[in-house]
Amino acid sequence: MSAALTCSAADLSSLLGPNATAAAEYICGQLGTVNNRFTDAAFAIDNTYLLFSAYLVFSMQLGFAMLCAGSVRAKNTMNIMLTNVLDAAAGGLFYYLFGYAFAFGGSSEGFIGRHNFALKDFPTLTSDYSFFLYQWAFAIAAAGITSGSIAERTQFVAYLIYSSFLTGFVYPVVSHWFWSPDGWASPFRSPEDRLFGTGAIDFAGSGVVHMVGGIAGLMGALIEGPRRGRFEKSGRAIALRGHSASLVVLGTFLLWFGWYGFNPGSFAKILVPYESGSSYGQWSGIGRTAVTTTLAGSTAALTTLFGKRLLSGHWNVTDVCNGLLGGFAAITGGCSVVEPWAAIVCGFVAALVLIGCNKLAEMVQYDDPLEAAQLHGGCGAWGLIFVGLFAKEKYVNEVYGAAPGRPYGLFMGGGGKLLGAQFVQILVIAGWVSATMGTLFFILKKLDLLRISEKDEMAGMDMTRHGGFAYMYYDNDDESHRATQLQRVEP
Amino acid sequence: MASSTISCNASDLIPLLSGGANATATAAAAEFICSRFETVSGKFTDAGYAIDNTYLLFSAYLVFSMQLGFAMLCAGSVRAKNTMNIMLTNVIDAAAGGLFYYLFGFAFAYGAPSNGFIGKHFFGMSDFPKPTFDYPFFLYQWTFAIAAAGITSGSIAERTQFVAYLIYSSFLTGLVYPIVSHWFWSSDGWASPARSDNLLFQSGVIDFAGSGVVHMVGGIAGLWGALIEGPRIGRFEQRSKPLTLRGHSATLVVLGTFLLWFGWYGFNPGSFAIIFKSYGTSPGSSFYGQWSAVGRTAVTTTLAGCTAALTTLFGKRLIDGYWNVTDVCNGLLGGFAAITSGCSVVEPWAAVICGFVAAWVLMGFNKLADKLQFDDPLEAAQLHGGCGAWGIIFTGLFADKTYVSEIYGGDPNRPFGLFMGGGGRLLAAHVVQIVVIVGWVSVTMGTLFFVLHKMELLRIPSEDEVAGMDPTSHGGLAYMYTEEEIKNGIMVRGVGGEDDHVQGHVGVL
């Protein structure tokens, strides 16, 4: 039987006998020091964990940049990569100035935060710089997603404007609702204030990050229209293939790698025992989250592999990569509160959802070079529903705090309240992002600031506004050029 | 007077407190103090779990990044027309491996308690986690399993049907590899150094991070695949010398190599699994602990790779007449494959020797392969099989007594490296490891490849091989640089001369 480390010298000395005050104070003082050193150690351990998780999430920027580059035509490569670099950079500035404050700023009401602008009165007991950095890495992920939908035809100025608005305002407000302890739909709210008695569970952001990025991209791509040549007058879709499958695979694997910071890292702390002295603690939940993430992605990849083999007749690596990412986007919401076998179900359905959304997009002549709206929006939404169905009671209580009668997944016997909250989340995110980003894109279009001219689109954005092509394989010198020549492939 | 544990026995404490007359109060005081010490002990245990799991998880993520490294290395080493094929095999490795290792691979490998041959618990992660195995350990082992399967894909690149690939990869990751890892890494395994009794030659095999378990398994499997399906078209057709079918992008080769190097810092040092362990005689008595050994392992890894790289650089300069980056990259990786077995139990100076010899072993095996007309696009069998085997021998020669004792504990008279004065039993056990791995993998994977070959499921038709697997089975080419290429499906080719198969160097990055 163990007790808290608090030690009252008065209590102890009465037990030790008449002359024992000094002894009691000595012992209690030592125990107090021990307690404090534990507190220090926990901060060091948890911050190490969170910082390295943040670096991993940051590497997803690199992954997304490579994925985007490989997925667009060579003549637009520099453009898309510049948007990714600027995402991170502009996001850094705006999230510091007010994004973080709107998201997590101190004690506020349910809609928006209002403290810690430019990190004033920071750090606090609950939030240190590692937490800010981690949240910044998430914010720039959301903005990156949108860039994929509007690639190859968007003016750079429009890009700067929407990206700052998304990272500095639209996204932070959404993250406030679902992740701040004050947010109106947050599962961290005090029990009597929770939406439907539960709050919406979106652990690492199938909705907050992926749906927000995807719906914003949807608005942009809808308003500016498809790329030239994508849909013939008859309605037939032409594939405008990306220029490098190697970059697509490189980018996908880097995103997979970084997802191990995105999902498990969202616990923020690793040193939380579930029963003192037992081997089972938050570190187990974190490990389990890494496993569910892996299984969902793997299953989605395999499902896409065989699905596409049936549908198109060959084994398609770039489609498999997208399917893989769709599985990750889906599991992101529930990765910490479901069993590994459920993650397999999640990934399987996510693959089908992506294939279905892509077919739908073609039918309605919606063009998204990275299929970002379908992947992040569609699979993200599925991920939220999935949580409402498969969340396990034990894990929900461990992660979000035990409360008697707390709702959990419908298929696990937890009733329909959590699923109800998830539906609310989907509707609210779709509504908020459409209203804000849709309006912004519309205004930009009316001001002729959104889409580039047809001439520029045919020539390629790198040539017309980024100083030249991304790739220079020949010098102007004739000698080296003679070494290689393009030749038709013999039949 | 320092105490060695935090545990506290009230009956021991009471006589020390009995200055006061009141026995009940003294007992209560003892209870008071002891229970707080119990809490302290519990909190240290919790902190230990948090620290060790953080360490293991990030190591797992690093090993996972080796998939990416190997994908890029493979892509850069094959011709442009086969790029999508090889990269898809790497993606599917990780994905299919995830599923099969979860379903039964981990169970066969670590399902204790069990017998010496194969494990039998934790199928589909049932009864999980246990105090012995938590989720981070599973994830870490998964990343190792998919590494082994990835290696084999290099040997059979550019000419293997995708269906054959799916079949062998699942079989290797789900059964063949887990069983080998059970023998040498599970506490039940017949050749494991962690056994409580009946150690092989009173020693067990020390293959710390898998020169044998991972590299030899992947390499020997690749050897059989490549042997049975034969060389690529054009590789050995000229009588004078073999034709080099060069990879299409040196940039991707270097990118992949560096990523593998980066990930190796999870592969080797991470194999300790636990970092929070002091080697001092009592807690707090020493700065020297398992964290030091972890760091030393990262150093030996680094030194072996560096030495192998430099040796290859100068060796190839002498033999071929120029400085060759892709050969240096392969040499580097050969050094890593070799040191993987003994990285934790040898001195840094020994790691230099390991890398030096590994470079020559690789060059020698490559020459031998050319002579025997064995074609391996990634030289995977030579590198992982050959340098892996050298690494196992190396450990039997250079394992240091103190390090073996710190890491594997047990009998203070346990065998260690022959050249360090430890007798020949460790080396003997290591020879057994080589023989057994070659035998097991040859029997299983050799048979599988042979069956696939007989069923005409292994190699692709020659028209497909000449045109390239990407246009014929994967929907098109990997690279589209100009509008003309997009319109006409043009592929880059070298011009004129006898070398019609030599690729031009319009690469990707």
Q: Does residue B505 register a pLDDT over 70?
A: no
Q: Is the peptide bond before B129 cis (omega within 30 degrees of 0)?
A: yes
Query: What pLDDT does residue A404 have?
Result: 85
Per-residue model confidence as pLDDT tens digits over A244-265: 999 999 999 999 999 999 999 9
Burial string for B312-325 (b: 16+ CB within 10 Å, else e) reads bbebbeeeeeeebe
CA distance B262 to chain A (A): 13
Q: Minimal CA–CA distance to B414: which of B185, B193, B211, B209? A: B193
Opening angle at CA A48, ends A42 and A49, nearest 5: 90
Q: Give the integer Cα–Cα distance in Å for B96 and A302.
A: 7
Q: Is the pLDDT of residue B95 over 50?
A: yes
H-state helical runs in A313-339? 317-331
pLDDT tens figures, A292-334: 999 999 999 999 999 999 999 989 999 999 999 999 999 999 9
In whole angstroms, what is the distance from residue B343 CA to residue B493 CA?
Answer: 44
Positive/negative CA dihedral, B348, B350, B351, B356: positive
Question: What CA–CA distances, in Å, run from B77 to A213, B380, B400?
Answer: 36, 11, 38
Kindly tell me if the per-residue pLDDT of A90 is higher than 50: yes
Identify the pLDDT of residue B508. Answer: 30
For residue B482, the model assigns a pLDDT of 64
How close B475 comes to chain A (CA, Å)? 6
Tell which of A294, A339, A394 to mutate to test the B interface (max B CBs under 10 Å). Answer: A294
- Quick count: other Cβ atoms within 10 Å of Cβ B179? 18
Please report the pLDDT score of residue B485 as a whole number: 56
Q: What is the pLDDT of residues A327-367, one digit of tens each?
A: 999 999 999 999 999 999 999 999 999 999 999 999 999 99
Q: Which percentage of chain B shows pLDDT scores above 70?
A: 90
B21's CB contacts (< 8 A; 6+ apart) are A17
In the block, tokens 């994929």 appear at A148
Are the beta carbons of B441 and B220 closer than 8 angstroms? yes
| % of chain B at pLDDT higher than 90 | 72
Write out the DSSP string of B288-331. -BHHHHHHHHHHHHHHHHHHHHHHHHHHHHHHHSS--HHHHHHH
Sequence-distant (≥ 6) Cβ neighbours of residue A468 within 8 angstroms:
A462
Residues of B in contact with A21 (CB under 8 A): none
Q: Which of A26-35, A323-332, A445-454 is least confident?
A: A26-35
Look at residue B396 in the predicted model and tell me its pLDDT. Answer: 97
Q: What predicted TM-score, i.e. pTM, was given to this entire model?
A: 0.89
For A192-229, what is each residue's pLDDT tens digit? 889 999 999 999 999 999 999 999 999 999 999 999 98
Q: Which is more confident, B156 or B9?
A: B156
Estimate the share of chain B in helix, then strand, then coil, as percent rounded to the nearest 5. 65, 0, 35
CB-nearest partner of A283 from B38, B50, B486: B50
| Residue B67 contacts A, CB cutoff 8 Å | yes
**Residue closest to B64 by CA, chosen among B217, B215, B264, B268:** B264
B451 touches A: beta carbon within 8 Å? no
Give kind and range of the element (H or E) at residue A255: helix A245-262
B35 touches chain A (CB under 8 A): yes
Chain B residue closest in CA terms to A48: B54
B219-249: string of b/e by CB count within 10 Å (b at 16+)?
Answer: bbbbbbbbbbbbbbebbbeeeeebbebbbbb
SS (H, E, C) B411-452: CCCCCCCHHHCCCCHHHHHHHHHHHHHHHHHHHHHHHHHHHH
C-beta atoms surrounding A67 within 10 Å = 30
Mean pLDDT of B1-11: 55
**Amino acid in position B464:** D
Token pair for A233: 């007058």
Q: For A155-179, what is the mean pLDDT? A: 93
Domain boundaries along the sequence of chain B? 41-119+137-279+291-467
Residue B352 has pLDDT above 90, yes or no: yes
CATH superfamily of A34-230+242-466: Ammonium transporter AmtB like domains (1.10.3430.10)
Handedness of CA A451, A456, A460, A462 (dihedral sign): negative
Q: Which residues in chain B have Cβ-Cβ distances shorter than 8 Å to A314?
A: 473-475
Residue B9 pLDDT more than 80? no
Q: Which residues of A touch B257 (CB under 8 A)?
A: none
Q: The CATH number of B41-119+137-279+291-467 is which of 3.40.50.970, 3.40.50.720, 3.30.200.20, 1.10.3430.10?
A: 1.10.3430.10
- A124 forms beta bridges with none
Q: To the nearest 10°, the Cα dihedral for A317, B263, B136, A37?
A: -140
Q: Does B21 touch chain A (CB under 8 A)?
A: yes
In Å, how far is A268's CA from the nearest CA of chain B? 12
How far lies A276's CA from each of A272, A455, B275, in Å? 9, 68, 20
For helices A129-149 and A212-224, what crossing angle results, to 10°? 30
Q: What is the dihedral of CA B429, B431, B434, B435, to 10 degrees?
A: -100
- How far is it, in rounded angstroms, from Cα A358 to Cα A239? 12
Q: What is the CA radius of gyration of chain A?
A: 26
Residue B502 at interface with chain A, using a CB cutoff of 8 Å? no
The rounded distance, in Å, linking the Cα atoms of B358 and B333 is 9
Interval B430-476: pLDDT, tens: 999 999 999 999 999 999 999 999 999 999 999 999 989 998 888 88
Q: What CA–CA distance (Å, rounded) separates B164 from B466?
A: 19
Structure tokens at A141: 């992920």
Looking at the predicted structure, is the pLDDT value of residue A24 above 80? no
Beta-bridge partners for A484: B494
The pLDDT value given to residue A123: 86
Q: Where are the domains of chain A?
A: 34-230+242-466
pLDDT at position B86 over 90 = yes
| Secondary element (H or E) of residue A362 | helix A340-363
The predicted pLDDT at position A407 comes to: 94
Q: How confident is the model at residue A19 (pLDDT cuts 50, 70, 90)?
A: low
Q: Is the pLDDT of residue A488 over 50?
A: no
Is pLDDT above 80 for A15?
A: no
Task: Name the residue type at position B13.
Answer: L
- CA separation, residue A168 to residues A90, A91, A99, A115, A380 (Å): 9, 7, 4, 14, 22
In 3-state terms, what secondary structure has residue B459? strand
Nearest to A18 among B20, B28, B508 (CB): B20
- Residues belonging to chain A: 491
pLDDT for B246 beyond 90: no
Is pLDDT larger for residue B241 or for residue A200?
A200
- Best B479, B487, B500, B506 member to test A by mutation, with max A CBs in 10 Å, is B479
φ/ψ (deg, to 5) at A404:
-65, 135
Q: Does B496 touch chain A (CB under 8 A)?
A: no
- Average pLDDT, rounded, for chain A: 90
Give the residue on A whose Cα is nearest the Cα of B54.
A49
Contacts of A290 in chain B (CB under 8 A): 57, 60, 135-136, 139
Do the beta carbons of residue B301 and residue B312 sit within 8 Å?
no
| Alpha helix stretches (DSSP H) within B80-239 | 83-100, 106-110, 135-155, 162-171, 177-185, 217-229
Nearest to B153 by CA among B328, B360, B325, B384: B384
CB B355 within 8 A of CB B338: yes
Q: What is the pLDDT of residue A354?
A: 97
How far, CA to CA in Å, does A150 sit from each of A75, A143, A155, A462?
A: 15, 12, 10, 15
Do A288 and B135 contact (CB within 8 A), yes or no?
A: yes
pLDDT of residue A1: 41
What's chain B's average pLDDT? 89
State how far the Cα of B120 lies from the Cα of B112, in Å rounded to an integer: 7
pLDDT at A18 over 80: no
Which pLDDT band, with edges at 50, 70 and 90, does B134 fall under?
A: very high
Say what the pLDDT of residue B10 is: 66
Q: Could you please report the per-residue DSSP string of A15-44?
A: HH-TT-HHHHHHHHHHHHHHHHHHHHHHHH
| Interatomic CA distance for residues B145 and B445, integer angstroms | 15
| Nearest Cβ partner for B139 among A42, A247, A290 | A290
How do residues B395-418 score in pLDDT, each as one tens digit?
A: 999 999 999 999 998 788 899 999
pLDDT number for residue A467: 80
